[in-house]
Chains A and B, each alone.
Chain A
Amino acid sequence: MKFLQSIGAKTITKVAAIGRATLMLFGALVAVPRLKNVPLIIHQLYVVGVQSLLIIMVSGLFIGMVMALQGYTILVDYGAEGSLGPMVALSLLRELGPVVTALLFAGRAGSALTAEIGLMKATEQLSSLEMMAVDPLRRIVAPRFWAGMLAMPMLAIIFSAIGILGGHLVGVDWLGVDSGSYWSIMQSTVDWNQDVLNGVIKSVVFALVVTWIAIFKGYDSVPTSEGISKATTETVVYSSLAVLGLDFVLTALMFGIE
């Protein structure tokens, strides 16, 4: 009986949390967009986007370089080093760009969002906003959500582009793959709709998941220092798992059976 009760209690807690998360998102998004909120979004875009730019660009460069190095050592045995371009470009555009960007974004920007909103709650800034008849969902949550939704696909595009340039640096400039074949075979293999746009769609989905989890965990955290630390950890863990799991589903839908 006790066992059944614990299962029931856990299920009810989880479902209630999902319900609160949906209500929060709904409350933040259904709000009538007001022009005076645009500067708030731009400021958040700076916080979650521009400040993540360096880590994204450095990771993209090195991942592209490593893939060129590893791919070259294998492809050169078969005299197929011309296929280095499409290998680097396709794996970056389809998988690594959106996924690694989402994981880094969860660690770099998601955890910061959770901690910020959690501390606002702990120091009762959210309650004082409500006292002043300002809806914290519109003032605090909505700009952060939109900034995350905009910033992550942008970061993923930059990641892929920098990675392809990094692959060019190692493959063409250092290892001596022909520059013409690097680009031309890539161009004949990569399709705009199939590869580039699908990668962007993936990163939009990941952006929704990561930003939503980060904001909700902060908004729903236990307002103590321990609660905030737990919420921050959960943000990173949950969004990483959600991204990796969703990636399989999206890949199966996009590139699976034709």
Chain B
Amino acid sequence: MNKYKTEVMVGFFVALTISALLLLALKVAEQSVATEGDSYTLYAKFDNIGGLKARSAVKVGGVTVGRVTSITLDKDDFTPVVELSILKQYNGFPETSSVSILTSGLLGEQYVGFQPGFSFDGVANLEDGDYLQDTKSALVLEDLIGQFLFNRGSDE
């Protein structure tokens, strides 16, 4: 085996590895690389977060604009606080915006639905570190069934 051929083959091996790594980076894990850009943080307090997890998506009308970075429990009033990381390019949401925890599909994973509110004079835009006031909790199936049974019982 002459030296030149060995070096060519090793070069081919390295090139193949780099192209495989590029395939994994750009094609397989594209989403997460793209969301690691500049972002700002918003907070929202919910009564119940259901099955929401860190890294769940934050969507405006189906478009992913950010991710849930962490979920903690407020020490004073014992309600869950969800930290949302929103991409810098989607800024300028008005303060009247609301967030709710939704489910994609019947059995899909849960995500944070973000409804931009109306913007008129005297309403400031959301800034880094702001708390969202208007929140709707996750629908818990057991509560729904409980309510349904309770209503049925009171009708009769």
Which residues does A use to contact B, with CB under 8 Å? Answer: 39, 42-43, 45-46, 49-50, 53, 89, 93, 151, 154, 157-158, 160-162, 164-165, 183, 186-188, 190-193, 195-196
Would you call B89 an interface residue if the criterion is a C-beta within 8 Å of the partner chain's C-beta atoms?
no
New A-B contacts (17) at CB < 8 Å, excluding given A157-B20, A183-B27, A188-B31 = A43-B6, A46-B1, A46-B10, A46-B13, A50-B9, A158-B16, A158-B17, A160-B20, A160-B24, A186-B28, A187-B30, A187-B32, A188-B57, A188-B64, A190-B29, A191-B55, A192-B25
14 A-B pairs (CB sep. < 8 Å): A50-B12, A93-B24, A157-B17, A158-B16, A161-B20, A161-B23, A161-B24, A187-B28, A187-B30, A188-B31, A190-B31, A192-B33, A193-B32, A196-B24
What B residues does A50 contact at CB under 8 A?
9-10, 12-13
Contacts of B124 in A (CB 8 A): none
Say yes or no: A42 contacts B7, CB within 8 Å: yes
The CA of A207 and the CA of B6, in the complex, are separated in Å by 22
Min CB–CB distance B19 → chain A (angstroms): 8
Say yes or no for B123: interface residue by CB 8 A criterion.
Answer: no
Q: What A residues does B33 contact at CB under 8 A?
A: 192
Report the separation of the CA atoms of residues A19 and B20 in the bound assembly, to the nearest whole angstrom: 38
Main secondary structure of the interface of A (DSSP, over half): helix
List the A side residues contacting B9 at CB < 8 Å. 46, 50
Kindly state whether residue B3 has any CB partner on chain A within 8 Å.
Answer: yes
Does B14 interact with chain A (Cβ within 8 Å)? yes
Q: How far is the CB of B15 from chain A (nearest CB, A)?
A: 11
Q: What B residues does A46 contact at CB under 8 A? A: 1, 6, 9-10, 13
Option from B16, B32, B64 in Cβ contact (under 8 Å) with A192? B32
Given A49-B10, A49-B13, A158-B17: A191 and B24 within 8 A (CB)? no
B14 partner, pick from A93, A154, A165, beta carbons under 8 A: A154
Q: How far is the CB of B13 from chain A (nearest CB, A)?
A: 5
Q: With the chains together, A186 CA to B25 CA distance in Å? A: 12
- A151 and B14 CA atoms in complex are apart in Å by 9
CA separation between A165 and B27, bound complex, in Å?
11
Instruction: Please indicate the chain A residues that have their CB under 8 angstroms from the CB of B25 in the complex.
Output: 192, 196
State A161–B25 Cα separation when bound (angstroms): 10
Query: Given known contacts A160-B24, A195-B29, is B16 in contact with A53 (CB within 8 Å)?
Result: yes
Given A39-B3, A46-B9, A50-B12, A190:B20 Cβ within 8 A? no
Chain B: CB-nearest residue to A195: B29
Q: Is B73 an interface residue (CB 8 A)?
A: no
Q: Min CB distance, A36 to chain B, in Å?
A: 14
Chain B, Cβ-Cβ closest to A186: B28
Supposing A187-B31, A195-B29 touch, asked if A154 and B13 sit within 8 A by C-beta, the answer is: yes
* A103–B11 alpha-carbon span in the complex (Å): 24
A42 cross-chain contacts in B, Cβ below 8 A: 6-7, 10
- The minimal Cβ–Cβ distance linking A37 to chain B, given in whole angstroms, is 15
Which among A43, A46, A160, A191 has the greatest number of chain B C-beta atoms within 10 A? A46
- B140: CB under 8 A from chain A? no
Chain B residues near A183: list those with CB within 8 A: 27
B10 touches A158 (CB 8 A): no
B28 — which chain A residues lie within 8 A by C-beta? Answer: 89, 93, 164, 186-187, 190, 196
A193–B27 Cα distance when bound, in Å, is 15
Query: Considering the chains assembled together, what is the distance between the CA atoms of A227 and B55 in angstroms?
Result: 54
Residues in A neighbouring B16, C-beta threshold 8 A: 53, 158
CA distance A54 to B55 in the complex (A): 38
Give complex CA distance A154, B24 in Å: 13
Residues of B within 8 A of A164 (CB): 23-24, 28
